[in-house]
Chains A and B, each alone.
Chain A
């Protein structure tokens, strides 16, 4: 299955590298920068839901009326690079007789800034996460959804039908889900290593020069917190944050890790043996497998204590084709379309109807990566990552600088 995708992957590979050199990241929905918060309203007034304090977002306009006809013409999408299958785009265009035009963003902050100043005027935004959502609501950029156009909303995994960041799903429909964990080469590392040592494997000097962690201060520092025995992905305890930073420095001295988001190509290429990464990366990695090599060498350890995230789709208030925008969201939440979309994107659609069995049956996922799939149970037990208060965020950044400054 990987050969048919080989050519587009090359281009995508290049685009990602390009994005990295310009400072952004394009890996789906995964956000490099500030995420989440400790309470439902931070001191500065940004409304942020947390699992402990879910939030019902304010609504300033009504959703579109029921039963409107689809618009014709062009539907404008704002999306991460390569975060929707071109074949799915073509299928939607044919089915609705419209043209889709896509703009690309490479950081959530950048996208929000360009939405605020009017550089981007999309109908639909794909791949935003809760951090971005809080800002989009504050800037009054989104319109509430009319679910009568989205009957496929019922396919969404149950834990996300009433999410903490947007109670009653007024503005958002989940797109992809993923969890943080460790991707590795099964021909170098045995699964049992993780059962015994868990996160500690990343500190094993054996993997010096063959190991990497995510270039995302929130994800990687949170991982170090879990390794130290903590379980707060949004810790505001200065001592706990400092100890996490020290743990990373200890790792740096033991294994000289790389800090990037390239595990999805470096692990299949054999350039590294192990990386702390987003689970979805390993499915992308399958498509980067050198020809003739069994994707069974790709393994993933899904930690018991880890961050689980999802991103979502939403419609802008200024949308010129709001009905089509709803139709696209409905289209992407359809089981078959979502499976097709997944074939290209790699990440796992946030649909309950797409089970582990469905995905294995589709033949696009090697048995060795079953653990990388986010089941509804894993989603439920995963920890959420929310925007930090500026003062706490500064503590995290301080430790991250101490680590990356080498």
Chain B
């Protein structure tokens, strides 16, 4: 009998190893770069592995830039873009997931495949395709002109960047949402209807609360990569007026002699996302408690 817990611990070993090797150690390395120094000759990062000798001067400068300097605008813009992209993603994704789970009937698999298949193509390729479609003589631009919309999509427009984010990540919202909705006990909705709720009330009082965990999970799943995204912006805009945090990280790490700044921004972003994650974990725990009650 006493052996069982040890056996279970053993089961956790691969996961723990994975987490330590591919998250904890790399994350520590990022911190060591952020609070380390720069090689005076080769101008690349020299990580400071000993936390006692971490140097915070550069970090405090960058933090000051984030709170009151030029990076502040970038941080705010990033949050706004991701928020807008999430709202649009939910507006598009939820009805689709709902339809798939509830009303697609026999053709469920076909619809699922239709949603997934385009995403077998690499993200970059799809974005490059959009660059063609959105260029001034592109198909999409010409099509929109038929409706009187004459818009220069690729001229550093925030709309294009937000829509690009939506397009890139919306399937990752639909699939987990679909998985949650599919498992819902629809008899509860029938029961609500029987008890006098109209369809809107049943949706608000029964469907929504039951799918909350799925909504939060799907939201987090797309919010995380959106916050760090830089290539959508690189391909669709390249304008300072749409610069996101990911672009600044990319510049500091790849194009400048201050890689510590990039590492520091990675840490700041991670802490911010960690807060989001803990919100998710708390809400799923609450959900679990409610369902077991």
To the question of whether A and B form a pair in one complex, the answer is yes
Complex formed: what's the CA distance from A113 to B45 in Å? Answer: 11
- Most central of A113, A256, A405 by chain B CB within 10 Å: A405
Binary per-residue interface labels of chain A (1-39) against chain B in the complex, 1 for a CB within 8 Å, 0 otherwise = 000000000000010011011111000000011100000
Instruction: Assess whether A404 is in contact with B255, with CB atoms less than 8 Å apart.
Output: no
Contacts A34-B43, A209-B152, A401-B248 known; A21 to B257 CB distance under 8 Å? no
Map CB proximity to A onto B40-61 as digits: 1 under 8 Å, 0 otherwise: 1111100000000000000000
Is B258 touching A17 in the complex (CB atoms < 8 A)?
no
- The answer to whether A406 touches B43 (Cβ under 8 A) is no
A215 to B135, CA, bound (A): 20
Tell me whether A99 is interfacial, beta carbon within 8 Å.
Answer: no
Max count, chain B CB within 10 A of own CB: residue among A262, A269, A402: A402
A224 to chain B, nearest CB (A): 14
Q: What is the bound-complex CA distance between A406 and B242, given in angstroms? A: 7
Which residues of chain A from 27 to 85 have any CB-CB distance to chain B below 8 Å in the complex? 32-34, 44-46
Binding stretch for chain A, among B93-101, B200-208, B231-239: B231-239
Contact between B240 and A23, CB atoms less than 8 A apart = no
Chain B residues, Cβ within 8 Å of A135: 41-43
Contact B73 A109 (CB under 8 A): no
> Interface stretch among A304-312, A348-356, A389-397?
A389-397
| A393-B124 Cα distance, complex, nearest whole Å | 33
Q: Give complex CA distance A302, B44 in Å.
A: 34
Q: Is B71 an interface residue (CB 8 A)?
A: yes
Q: Contact: A21 with B231, CB < 8 Å?
A: yes
- Complex Cα distance, B42 from A390, in Å, reads 11
Q: Is B182 engaged at the interface, CB distance under 8 Å to the other chain?
A: no
Contact with B along A263-294 (1 / 0, CB 8 A): 00000011100000000000000000000000
Q: Contact check, A405 vs B70: say whether CB atoms are below 8 A apart.
A: yes
Q: Which of B251-284 contact A (CB under 8 A)?
A: 251, 253-258
Closest A residue by C-beta to B131? A17
Say yes or no for B190: interface residue by CB 8 A criterion: no
Q: Is the CB of A405 within 8 A of B74?
A: yes
Known contacts: A139-B42, A257-B240, A406-B73. The answer to whether A23 contacts B257 by CB under 8 A is no
Bound form: Cα–Cα A99–B72 in Å: 53
Given contacts A252-B240, A258-B156, A401-B248, A269 and B65 within 8 Å (CB-CB): no
The reply to whether A17 and B42 contact each other, CB–CB distance below 8 Å, is no
Asked if A138 is at the interface (CB within 8 A of a chain B CB), the reply is: yes
* Contact of B257 with A33 in the complex, beta carbons under 8 Å: yes
Docked Cα-Cα span, A18 to B235, in Å, equals: 10
Count of chain A residues with Cβ under 8 Å from any Cβ of B? Answer: 49
* B contact residues around A269 at 8 Å (CB): 135
Interface residues of B in 197-230 (CB under 8 A from A): none
Bound CA–CA A210/B25 (angstroms): 46
Which residues between 1 and 59 of chain B lie within 8 Å of chain A, taking CB atoms?
A: 38, 40-44
Contacts A18-B124, A404-B251; A256 near B231 (Cβ below 8 A): no
Known contacts A259-B239, A397-B257; is-contact A406 B40 (Cβ 8 Å): no
A105 at the binding interface (Cβ < 8 Å): no
A23 near B250 with CB under 8 A, answer yes
Minimum Cβ distance to chain B for residue A324 (Å): 29
The complex places the Cα of A22 from the Cα of B41 at a distance, in Å, of 25
Q: How far is the CA of A44 from the CA of B231 in the complex (A)?
A: 35
Cα(A14)–Cα(B235), bound, Å: 12
A259 and B41 in contact (CB under 8 A), knowing A107-B254, A217-B256, A401-B248? no
Looking at the assembled complex, report how far the CB atom of A63 sits from the nearest CB atom of chain B, in whole angstroms.
Answer: 25
CB neighbours (8 Å) of B248 from chain A are 401, 404-405
Instruction: Report the Cα distance A34→B252, complex, angstroms.
Output: 12
Taking the complex as formed, is A112 at the interface, i.e. its CB lies under 8 A from any CB of chain B? yes
What is the CA–CA distance of A404 and B256 in the complex, to the nearest angstrom? 13
Q: Say yes or no: is A116 at the interface (Cβ < 8 Å to chain B).
A: yes
Closest B residue to A24 by CB, please name it: B254
> In the complex, A394→B252 CA distance in Å?
11
Given A271-B136, A405-B248, does the pair A259, B42 have CB atoms closer than 8 Å? no
- Give A276 Cβ to nearest chain B Cβ, in Å: 14
- Shortest beta-carbon distance from B255 to chain A in Å: 5
Judge if A403 is at the interface, Cβ distance under 8 Å.
Answer: yes
- B-to-A contact residues, CB < 8 Å: 38, 40-44, 65, 69-71, 73-74, 77, 124, 128, 135-137, 152, 154-156, 231, 234-235, 237-243, 247-248, 250-251, 253-258
**What 19 additional pairs, Cβ within 8 angstroms, besides A17-B124, A107-B254, A405-B248?**
A23-B251, A32-B254, A33-B256, A34-B256, A46-B40, A109-B44, A135-B43, A209-B156, A215-B238, A258-B238, A260-B238, A271-B136, A390-B38, A397-B256, A401-B70, A401-B251, A402-B70, A405-B240, A406-B243
Can you identify 7 A-B contacts, CB atoms within 8 angstroms? A20-B235, A44-B40, A107-B255, A109-B43, A258-B155, A390-B38, A404-B243
